[in-house]
Amino acid sequence: MNEQLEILRHSTAHIMAQAVSMLFPQTKFGIGPAISDGFYYDFDLPVPLSPEQLSEIEKKMQSIIKANLVFEQTMMEKSKAIDFFSQKEERYKIEIIQDIPDDEVSIYQQGDFIDLCRGPHIKSTGMIKAFKLLSIAGAYWRGDEKNSMLTRIYGTAFETTEELEKYLYQIEEAKKRDHRKLGKELGIFQVYDEAGPGLIYYHPKGAIVREEICRFLRLEHAKREYLEVVTPNIARVDLWKTSGHYDFYRENMYFMNVDNMEYVLKPMNCPGHILIYKSHTRSYRDLPLRLFELGTVYRHERSGVLHGLLRVRGFTQDDAHIFCMREQLKDEIQQVLDFIINTLVSFGFKEYEIYLSTRPEKYTGSDEIWDMATSALEMSLKEKGLPYQIDPGEGVFYGPKIDIKLKDALSRTWQGPTIQVDFNLPERFNVTYVGQDGKEHQPVMIHRVVLGSLERFMGALIEHYAGAFPVWLSPIQVLVATITEKHKQYGEYVQNQLRANQIRCDMDSRNEKIGFKIREAQLQKLPYVLILGDNEEQNKTVSIRKRGGKDLGQMTIEDFISVVSTEIREKNVDI
């Protein structure tokens, strides 16, 4: 978001706050920042607010905009500002002021509305041309569930009406693509209250899609000489103390007592892979050693942030750890980058953004090691000619990382692949190899995922394709639909031919009109419908209706099988 748009949106948030103060005079005010796709403001309202009342607030905002009120800034001594907002009983503003280290604070006023704000703002309210209030949510003051629950109103603003309309269209399209809605409608997955939040149950169709992804990953990893391993879901707490997760990640871990000993439900796969590496002495000739696992992990997430497949408590990663010598590090990183980009394209994600995440506030290891790891990642990106942005302080506690965010059909970004360089865990676990000189040396460890969480990737995949998966991923690739029940026997013959060629199919031989069957298949987003009647049975052919309503005419069964098998083999991903 450019600075001008950020100022515009922040100013619109103040106009919204003024409108709310006029409609609900007893309101107390929290904060109202600009965000990546709009703005919000948190209110302590005297009465509950319904979504229908957003239009009232918008009307009042329009009158404020029409009045063309000037945004005026004044500086106020901190003590006087506390007195001023105390008279208004604005406890949230007082709390903010008390945390400001300066002797003066910035106050903005438009008309009769006065707010604590450092700005900047646009010149006057009349400069707002295109805005829309979007939704209402609850939000704890300062994100702490021990504090008051406030009412958060989300909105957006753009410089032109055309930009706003485009954005609103994308919102509506995003609603249609919501993976939670489609996941249930298409029989892919559900979350059950009886089992607990953040835990995914894949239905048969979802299990097929997931297994196709796993099959692809296993094949591609084998091509690149990764060795697949499997590690347990629990381990003694001592392992996590050695790794540093106990100190740096404890609030996200699940603990349990087994035989009077403390165990952890694994949040990461890396310590298990280190144990496998250390199972016997390694030589420089063994390196690089690439260990891969479709490993299921469990992390404690607050219930308020859980979201379908995107934020869960149990998920599976296509996780790998590469143990290599320092002189092999750059080549390994570059090979992983190639692997990631080729895989994303294979699933239809042709655009992405790359971020280099640097040292966080809480970290382990020396600054020298961190600088060395960061430099290796940055040099690899530069040599591959890949554009990237620095994401300050977003590395993990044991090392810097490359984050790759894939873009979907609506140009939204999704977190996916990561590459992390780690000198710290090999040191903490005393991981070594015997070099050419016969002495022990410490290898470098690369943590990497190609797709990331399979759950999150499935969510992105559903929304990218709006549930209409490419043929190779579709749970049901072909529906055999008979015109009448008397064609059922021929339908079974066609179905058996398809299944003999590993084409996933189903048959609809119900006593229903063929138009009804086709419409149901369209709602289920099936790639192909084969219509069978007297003519098709007599000529041993099939009439083909492709997803989207395109009529492909008649083909022999053999020719149709050849067409579909080629599409599956080539993994056509065009939307």
Known catalytic residues are 270, 299, 317, 319, 321, 401, 447
Task: Give the whole-angstrom CA distance, residue 426 versus residue 444.
Answer: 7
Give the single-character DSSP code of 126.
G
Q: How many CA atoms lie within 13 A of 555 on its CB side?
A: 17
Residue 394 contacts by C-beta under 8 Å, 6 or more apart in sequence? 355, 357, 358, 360, 401, 403
Would you say the C-alpha torsion 227, 233, 235, 239 has a positive or negative sign?
Answer: positive
89, burial (CB in 10 Å: exposed 0-12, middle 13-18, buried 19+): exposed
The closest alpha carbon to 240, from 219, 221, 218, 255, belongs to 255
Instruction: Tell me the CA end-to-end span of the chain in Å, nearest whole number.
Output: 28
Task: Give the whole-angstrom CA distance, residue 460 versus residue 348.
Answer: 11
**Token digits for 279?**
């199972």
The closest alpha carbon to 125, from 276, 13, 243, belongs to 13
Task: Give the whole-angstrom CA distance, residue 6 versus residue 457.
Answer: 30
- Whole-number CA gyration radius for the chain: 29
Beta bridge mates, 564? none
H helices then E strands: how many in the chain? 18, 28
Give, in order, the Cα–Cα distances in Å from 58 to each of 17, 64, 67, 155, 204.
Answer: 11, 10, 14, 10, 46
**Token digits for 142?**
């300062």
Would you say the C-alpha torsion 385, 387, 391, 394 has a positive or negative sign?
Answer: negative
